[in-house]
Amino acid sequence: MITYDPRYELPRDLEGYGEHSLNPQWPNNAKICLSFLLNYEEGGERTVLNGDAHSEPYLWEKGVSSTYLTGHRHISAESEYEYGSRSGAWRLLRLFKEMGWHFTSWAVAQAMEKNPSFARACVRDGHEIAAHGLRWLDISEYSVEQEREYIRENALSLERSTGVFPKGYFYGRASPNIRGLYPEVMKEMGRKLLYSSESCFNDDVPYWVDLPWEKELKEEEREGLLIIPYNYDCNDGKFYMSPGFTGTTYLEYLKSTFDMLYREGCNGSPKLMNVPMHSRILGKPGRAEDLRKFMLYVKEKAGDDCWVATREDIANHFKSRFPYVPGHLAPGHPNGLQT
């Protein structure tokens, strides 16, 4: 059963920045910020080898027609996930090296543990390691204490395997409490948290939220939580979830999204565009080629007007320009919170 703890529940905000949004003042007056995110999950998915009751039915090549086996291994599903770690991840790493760009990895801890050479290569090449769960599992029914321990071990495991402690997080399959609970756990651990992208698909620019458990503190002692919005509409998971979704469809949608946001930026309202990726999906040759075509399109169309950044880069920039003020999305922009 899913439980809601009022200490960690954030109210809804249906107004946001309003009609004119916020100019995040990207570095070098860039007209758009582009954030690539590699969901690295291979090795952390469900399998009886990991003590799970059934095989992994979610996000592999058979898509909506995929099945799972109870109490038995599903060799095809396992093999699809293995493609991501054995081949697809390296193809994407080579592609980003070719472009001279960096991504943020939503890193499942067990997946990184099982592929230490890739974990080290990500850090070596300058890519960000961010938390995506201890396992690639749905933990929405965890109690607060179970989730607290899960968060702690996730972060420590990533530090062990990569040498880097994650400064941001997106779980996607956690309880409603995680948005407020995660920063509390980091504070208890004495670790620095820069941002959250957890379950926030509600804007095109970063913003601050107040943490309920900080309300008893003096204003100067509150830290708030910086939100860097994420999305699903540009997610390569559409290849599996939407029959008929092709590489051409994917490329054209990415270009259309970029064109709209870039035009808005040229008109004085710069935005953030997210490109979520998976090693076993976008790492396949044909799809990786369409991703490369999009990258070249961005370079040709926008050049230096596009800032390609990790989430850590974005968080550091936003915090320097728009430091936290309790009760404000950004300085000068009061929260319009709705319950």
CATH number at residue 102: 3.20.20.370
Q: The tokens of 281 are what?
A: 């999906």
Q: Which helix (H) or strand (E) holds 277?
A: strand 271-278
Q: Which residue has the tokens 């379950």?
A: 199
- Taking only the tens place, the pLDDT of each residue in 313-339 is 999 999 999 999 999 999 989 886 654
How far is the C-alpha of 110 from the C-alpha of 134, rounded, in Å? 6
Strand partners, 275: 36
CB contact at 8 A, 103 and 127: yes
Give residue 64's pLDDT: 58
Give residue 339's pLDDT: 47
**Phi then psi dihedrals of residue 333, to 5 deg:** -125, 90
SS3 270: coil
Tell me the Cα Rg of the chain. Answer: 20
Give residue 234's pLDDT: 96
Q: Residue 320: inside a domain, yes or no?
A: yes
Q: Residue 191: inside a domain, yes or no?
A: yes
Q: Residue 291: inside a domain, yes or no?
A: yes
Q: Residue 277: inside a domain, yes or no?
A: yes
Sequence-ordered alpha helix ranges (H) in the chain: 75-83, 89-99, 109-114, 116-124, 144-162, 178-189, 238-241, 247-266, 285-301, 311-321
Q: Which of 195, 125, 186 is nearest to 159 (CA)?
A: 186
Q: Which of 201, 130, 202 is nearest to 171 (CA)?
A: 130
Q: Could you give the number of structural domains in the chain?
A: 1
How far is the C-alpha of 329 from the C-alpha of 327, rounded, in Å? 7
**Phi then psi dihedrals of residue 108, to 5 deg:** -75, 125
Give residue 260's pLDDT: 98
Q: Residue 179: inside a domain, yes or no?
A: yes
Q: The tokens of 256 are what?
A: 């259309």
Q: Residue 50: inside a domain, yes or no?
A: yes
Give residue 174's pLDDT: 95
Q: Residue 251: inside a domain, yes or no?
A: yes
How far is the C-alpha of 61 from the C-alpha of 81, rounded, in Å? 9
Angle of the 247-266 helix axis to the 285-301 helix axis, nearest 10: 20
Q: The tokens of 194 are what?
A: 């820069």
Q: Residue 2: inside a domain, yes or no?
A: no
The parent domain of residue 209 ranges over 27-334
What does pLDDT average to in each consecutive run of 10 residues of the chain (339 residues)?
Answer: 92 94 97 98 91 80 72 86 96 98 98 97 98 95 97 98 98 95 97 96 98 94 97 92 87 98 98 98 97 98 97 98 97 74
Give residue 335's pLDDT: 80
